[in-house]
Amino acid sequence: MNKTLLALALLGAYAGTAQAQSSVQIYGNVDAGVIKRTDQATAIGKRANNTLGFKGSEELGNGLKAIFQLEIRYEPDSGTIEQGAGGIQRPLFQGQSRVGLTGGFGTLRLGRGLTAFQESSIAFEPFHGIPSPSGFQTDLTVAGYTSDPLGLPGNSTNRFSNAVFYNSPEYMGWQLNTTIGTKEANNGAAVIGRGTALLPQYPANSGSETNPYSIAVTWKRGIFGAMVAHERNAVESEVSSVAGYVMATPEMKLMLSYQKQDQSHTKLINQDTKAWVLGANYTMGMSKFLAGYGQKQVDGLEKVKQFSVGYEYSLSKRTYIYADISNKKGAPAIAPSTNTSINFYSLGVNHSF
């Protein structure tokens, strides 16, 4: 929830000025807890992303609005900007930095943010897209795919920089969501791919040969929702996904997704990955139960299996405590070096503002 200066406008505070429609919202959340992985020391860490954001809009007339959103991401356990692999700091506005117009034609934005596929897929994942190893979003829900392989070191794996974002209006429950990136280079590290360390397929600071893009068509009708999506990144890995959910009862949401990644542009073996995730959410008063099971199969490698259960208890509109238990077997992502079974536990608090 946001505390917003918009309220000033409601109060007529700007009535005497030209800015009656102004607003800047400061919003965000802090999520911190105790986490434990089988092979690591007990740690303080996050379960969901931590954000501090600034957003606003301006009425332009005729139903048209200018909109912007700038979202800082950070690590509350160490006070740093959000860190990627190896502790490398991500961009300040890792969450998003976009500006654009919204109106009857839909929403058109420029900048950096989640791709159409990555954003749309969250509705079909049982842990509402959290990056915690308890969730499925960053690995199984996308079949191990990464959206930004040529980005800065430490960069996000599910965003496009230098992109145009378009979301159509909803029509009969249908919506078209697209993201198209430029071929710009971004000071990224080399990607060896089908090359060698000396002659990588994509040398450091490479641009893409083709425009990265992401398309997600979503559909909602009554208790049903569905998505068909396709995305290609800057090294021409492609991911496709179909997904659906049903509100079996008003308290019970069941969801299923299937996805496939094709990395034949940069790999000689292990080119194809298939994955599926089955999930359920059940709400009972202040409690919410989360459960998911999924498998990921990279051709030629051992199958990955993940099972997770979670519990959230709302202390208020903006604060909940949570506890998760998860197990992952045969997995590069959570246990890169060995084919072991890894357990993951988390217990913490999430506060929105």
Site for its own copies in 257-316 (CB under 8 A): 315-316
Judged by beta carbon, residue 9 or residue 242, the one nearer its own copies is 9
Q: Judged by CB under 8 A, does residue 318 bind its own copies?
A: yes
- Using CB under 8 A as the binding rule, whether residue 47 contacts its own copies is answered as no
Q: Is 172 exposed, middle or buried (0-12, 13-18, 19+ CB in 10 A)?
A: exposed
Q: Binding segment for its own copies among 89-97, 115-123, 247-255, 273-281 (CB under 8 A)?
A: 89-97
The C-alpha R_g of the chain, in whole angstroms, comes to: 21
Residues 219, 244: Cα–Cα separation, whole Å: 9
C-alpha to C-alpha distances, 281 to 44, 131, 162, 310, nearest whole angstrom: 26, 17, 35, 9
CA distances from 277 to 228, 274, 327, 353 (A): 15, 11, 14, 31
Q: Residue 180 or residue 291: which is nearer to its own copies going by CB?
A: 180
Q: Environment class of residue 234 by beta-carbon count within 10 Å: exposed (0-12), middle (13-18) or buried (19+)?
A: buried
Mention every residue, 6+ apart, whose C-beta is less than 8 A from residue 19.
none
Binding mask 136-175 for its own copies (x = CB under 8 A): ----------------x--------xxxx-----------
Among 190, 246, 254, 349, binds its own copies (CB under 8 A): 349
Specify the stretch interacting with its own copies by CB under 8 A; choose among 95-103, 169-177, 248-256, 273-281: 95-103
Question: Whats the size of the chain, residue-wise?
Answer: 353
3-state helix, strand, coil in the chain (%, to 5): 5, 50, 45
Give yes or no for residue 11 binding its own copies (CB under 8 A): yes
Cα separation, 93 vs 161, whole angstroms: 11
Under rule CB under 8 A, residue 256 binds its own copies: no
Options 47, 48, 49, 75; binder of its own copies; rule CB under 8 A: 75
CB-CB contact of 66 with 56 (8 Å): no
Least gap, CB of 91 to its own copies (angstroms): 4
Provide the minimum distance between the beta carbon of 213 and its own copies in the complex, in angstroms, as a whole number: 14
Based on CB atoms, which residue is closest to its own copies, 112 or 253? 112
Site for its own copies contains 184 (CB under 8 A): yes
Closer to its own copies at the Cβ: 67 or 291? 67
Q: Which residue has the tokens 């078209």?
A: 176
CB of 149 to its own copies, least distance (A): 15
Question: Dihedral of CA 8/11/13/16: which sign?
Answer: positive
Binders of its own copies: how many residues, by CB under 8 A? 83
Residue 23: how many CB atoms within 10 A of its CB? 19
Which lies closer to its own copies via its Cβ, residue 37 or residue 260? 37
Nearer to its own copies, 49 or 161 (CB): 161
**Between 189 and 218, how does the x/- string for binding to its own copies read (CB under 8 A)?**
------------------x-----------
In the block, residue with structure tokens 């040529």:
150
- If one asks whether residue 344 binds its own copies (CB under 8 A), the answer comes out as no
Confirm or reject binding of residue 85 to its own copies (CB under 8 A). Answer: no
CA dist 109 and 167 (Å) reads 9
Residues 22 to 41: which contact its own copies by CB under 8 A?
22-24, 26, 28, 30-34, 41
- Which C-beta is closer to its own copies: that of 125 or that of 312? 312
Measured from the CB of residue 202, what is the shortest distance to its own copies in angstroms?
15
> What tokens does 46 get?
């996050």
Determine which residue in the list 47, 48, 102, 112 makes contact with its own copies, applying CB under 8 A: 112
